[in-house]
Structure 1
Amino acid sequence: MNVAKYFLLSVVVLLNLSSNAQTPRINFTLPGLYPEGLAYNPKNNLFYVSSETTGSIGTVDQLGIYRPFYQNATFKSSYGLKVDAKQNRLWACVSDATYSWFSDSTTYKKTGRLVAIDLGNGRKVADINLAKLYAGKHFLNDLTFDNAGNIYVTDSYSPVIYKVDAQGKASIFAQSDLFGGEDIGLNGIAYNPQGFLVVNNDSQGALYRVDIKDPKSIVKVNVDDLFPGADGMLFSNDSTLVLIQNKSVDKVHQLISPDGFKTAEVRMSTSSEDRFQQPSTGTTANGQLYVLNSKVNELSDPTKRPSKDFSIQLVEFKPAQ
């Protein structure tokens, strides 16, 4: 083989390796943490992660160094997280739904609290009991903000979406049998500035559009695909929704809609070579999309040893096949 042909073949091999390589990860270590929620604070360039097993909240820097941020003995498990940059607060969904190390009969499937922590001093500044608004089991899972400062929260064990207004008043925003599931019902939620929410149903794999001004107007998004194991979501822009899917699919999808998410189609997805590990929630940092590899599926398998390493992984989409 001559030098030119050898060089060309080498370039082709390198390109193939690069295209099939796993996307970069920020690896961090804390045995048994099993984080579920992920948020990013641009003011200090830190990620915040929750914990399904301990309820604690910690930070992860760009080098993968984990540091405790907030701990509370009454937190059994913490889930969805969102940074409110205007108020300099971190909001967290706190429940006792499945795998807490500290679960007890007074809290198991009964707790549903929305908690705010001051990002400056690390002190709790709000603690809102949403479980009292609806009789039944509770699992506060994810949250989103609208432009007026209202917060919307999903309950995976009760068929409701809660609302907390800018003054801290809590109410049931929307209720529907469409939100229920055999196990986990509603999971991810995202606000679109055009005036609606999109929520997903983990068990059904379906997406629903909920009008902000008329929350009884609940419409199933017409999309060819179903997404069992649908988890966190966020809008990239008014017409582009990012959806994270686990339950052995372990991919991130980009959905495009021409009509305000009455209909949608999957335009891009991540590659199987990225090897996501039970991805749960995502956030944008410095203009890039990152997803948390929660490994939470390990907690339902008694044969697995608890993981000590977790990661925040860069998302790179490829055209859907």
Structure 2
Amino acid sequence: MKAKRYIAAILLTGLSKFATAQTPRIDIKVKGLYPEGTVYDAAQAKFFVSSVVDGTIGTVDKQGKYTKFYQDKSMRSTYGMKVDAKRNRLWVCVSDANYSQYSDSSTFKKLGRLIALDTKTGKKVADIDLAKLYNGKHFINDLTLDEAGNAYVTDSFSPVIYKVDANGKASVLAQSDLWKGEDIGLNGIVYNPAGFLLVADGRAGAIYKVDIKNAKAINKVKIDQFLPGADGMLLQDNNTIVLVQNKGVDKIFQIYSIDNWQTAKIKAATAATDRFQQPSTATMADGKIFVLNSKLNELADPTKKPSISFPLQEAVFKPAE
């Protein structure tokens, strides 16, 4: 009987460990890196990652090996990024919003740039000043691209979305009093081929739809869930997006719409046992969704020692009840 009870206890322990196991991870072991943005480049089979601490842009292979790709102290911090595969360009959001070790009074909450690097050589091929387009504080946070190579960029400290066309000409595409307020506002953004943008507002916990041809047509998507700390977004198909939420929730959601994004519902979400750590942005790699554990919340606590690992973690969804 004792032997049977012992075996049963082992089985139960094993099942318990299996039930709480985290999803697969690619471990980026670079002490104090604190990356916020990531994107997968299928041509090189590598991820690009940013850094809010020193502005470094690096590559990460599927074994977690990190290699510096580009560094320029004038960039202060780097955030969201996207690859334009047709043009071999890596677009990167650059600002001085919070935790840069190179921050100073001339750039703090003032710097707002969008740069492009050649994905093969690392040479900078574009450097666009967005801050001059709108009078206010600036935090250039995330971007999306359309088929023509136009970039649409969010400013988390000003209520605007910028457009940078394929020739590098920048303008304010949309602005709204709906997006005004303190703290981080507009953040993740996706382009829908139907001709509109979906943008996450972490301050309001909402998603907005913006018509590209008529950018004054801004509508809040009706959704039966409040999403404070909504961060990066990823388009899976015209009717489905992936949304990353932090602010202590630290979950990833699949959200879908059947009426062209007038309304939307939560389709599925990651489990609490996956234990994401201040997730920020998501990217698709070989049909799987990987989410960056930025751990940026640690930087607000001066007593914490710098983390040595920042995993890219697979998002595995369970249907919403």
Q: Does 1:232 pair with 2:250?
A: no
3-state SS in 1 of match to 2:243: strand
The residue type equivalent to 2:154 in the other structure is: T
When residues 5 and 148 of structure 1 are mapped into structure 2, their CA distance, relative to the original with a 3 A threshold, is: farther
Q: Percent identity?
A: 59
TM-score by length of 2: 0.95
Query: Which residue number in structure 2 is paired with residue 190 of structure 1?
Result: 190
How do residues 281-296 of structure 1 correspond to structure 2 at under 5 angstroms? Answer: 281-296=281-296
- Alpha-carbon RMSD across the aligned residues, in angstroms, is 1.9
Alignment partner, residue 297 of structure 1: 297
Question: Is it true that 1:88 corresponds to 2:80 in the alignment?
Answer: no
Q: Within 5 A, what are the aligned runs for 1:109-188?
A: 109-188=109-188
- Distance in 2 (CA, whole Å) between partners of 1:89 and 1:18 is 41
Q: Aligned partner of 2:115: which letter?
A: V
Q: Given the alignment of the two structures, is residue 54 of structure 1 paired with residue 54 of structure 2, yes or no?
A: yes
User: 2: distance between equivalents of 1:210 and 1:242?
Assistant: 18
> Cα distance, 1:148 vs. partner?
2.1
Structure 1 residues 302 and 212: CA distance shift in structure 2, 3 A: same
The list of structure 1 runs, each at least 4 consecutive aligned residues, that deviate by more than 2 angstroms after superposition, is: 3-20
Q: CA deviation at 1:20?
A: 3.2
Contact 1:152 1:164 in 2 (8 A): yes
Amino acid in structure 2 at the alignment position of 1:148? A
CA contact (8 A) 1:181 1:204 kept: no
How far off is 1:18 after superposition?
Answer: 3.3
Tell me how far apart the structure 1 counterparts of residues 294 and 6 of structure 2 sit (CA, whole Å): 43
TM normalised by structure 1 equals: 0.95
2: CA distance, partners of 1:319 / 1:12: 26
| Alignment size in residue pairs | 321
CA contact (8 A) 2:59 2:68 kept: yes
Residue 18 (structure 2) aligns with: 18
Indicate the SS of the match to 2:307.
coil
Is the alpha carbon distance of 1:287 and 1:54 closer, same or farther for their aligned partners in structure 2, counting shifts above 3 Å? Answer: same
Taking a change above 3 Å as real, the CA distance of residues 298 and 5 of structure 1, as seen in their structure-2 partners, is closer
CA distance in 1, matches of 2:49, 2:180: 27
How far did residue 9 of structure 1 move?
9.8
Stretches of structure 2 lacking an aligned partner (at least 5 in a row): none
1:236-278 C-alpha deviation (Å, 9 max, x unpaired)? 0011010000011000000010011110000100000000000
Distance 2:176 2:122 in 1: 37
Show CA shifts across 1:76-133 (max 9, x none): 0000010110011110000001010000111111110000000111110000000000
Alignment correspondent of 1:257: 257
Q: How does 1:30-49 map to 2 (within 5 A)?
A: 30-49=30-49
Residue 42 of structure 1 and its aligned partner are, at CA, apart by 0.5
- Whether the 8 Å CA contact 1:181–1:201 is kept in 2: the answer is no
Give unpaired runs (5+ residues) of structure 1. Answer: none
Contact 2:36 2:52 in 1 (8 A): yes
Q: Is the 8 A contact 1:89 1:116 kept in 2?
A: yes
1:11, distance to aligned residue in structure 2 (A): 7.7
Q: Is the 8 A contact 1:191 1:198 kept in 2?
A: yes
Conserved 8 A contact 1:79-1:93:
yes
Secondary structure class of the residue paired with 1:74: helix
Give yes or no for the alignment of 1:244 onto 2:244.
Answer: yes
Contact 1:112-1:138 within 8 A present in 2 as well: yes
- Secondary structure in structure 2 of the residue aligned to 1:161: strand
